[in-house]
Amino acid sequence: MAMNQKQRDHFVDRVKSLTRDKINSIRALHAGQIQTIADKNYEEFVRVLGLEEDMNALKTAYQVTMETAPRVKGQLEGLSNLLPESNGYSHSNPSLYWHKGDAHETFEEYLRACCKATAEKEFYNTEAGQELKALEETQQQAIDTIMMDGSKVQDLTLKLNGILGKSDLQLTIGEGVQA
């Protein structure tokens, strides 16, 4: 008899659990290398996107704002008693909403995250990246086999061990005994 959905879900969870630790350890081991690739390529990444001038302009605008706005705000706060409370302005808070948000910093953070994602893809071209890529493909192949295979549990276990064995992983220990 073929497996039911609950059994398939169980096998998918087991495969993910089995491969996740190894995938995470490879990613952690090479996180510095991936970050170095991202940092090294960030300026080129921004230039290729055509955002170099805009990002520089935002950075300059932020620096000017941070130097100028406190002085202007201080002067305006000194004028707060000139306006009647009925105008919606409080004497203690003249409703001068000076937003300290930094568009440059926000956009740069996003662009760096995109650059890092690109670096992770570039990492797959390295020797260590090939190991990670192969393991992720093994995981996906095992899950696909679970979802599409009509085999009995024992037959599927043998197939999965054959797939996972390529990455030095095993779903079961011995015959019919789950790890």
> How far is the C-alpha of 123 from the C-alpha of 112, rounded, in Å?
16
**Encoded amino acid at 47, one letter:** R
Across 98-120, average pLDDT: 84
30 three-class SS: coil
The conformation of residue 85, written as its DSSP 8-state character, comes to G
**Encoded amino acid at 82, one letter:** L
Please list the alpha-helical segments (H only) found in 79-175. Answer: 103-123, 127-148, 153-165
> What values do phi and psi take at 51, rounded to 5?
-110, 5
Ramachandran class of 152: left when φ > 0, alpha when ψ lies in -120 to 50, beta otherwise: beta
Domain map (residue ranges) of the chain: 5-165
pLDDT in tens, 127-176: 889 989 999 999 999 888 888 876 677 787 888 888 888 888 887 654 44
pLDDT in tens, 35-85: 999 999 999 999 999 999 999 999 999 999 888 888 887 887 777 666 666
Residue 84 pLDDT: 60
CB 152 within 8 A of CB 4: no
Across 74-102, average pLDDT: 61
172 three-class SS: strand
Across 9-19, average pLDDT: 90
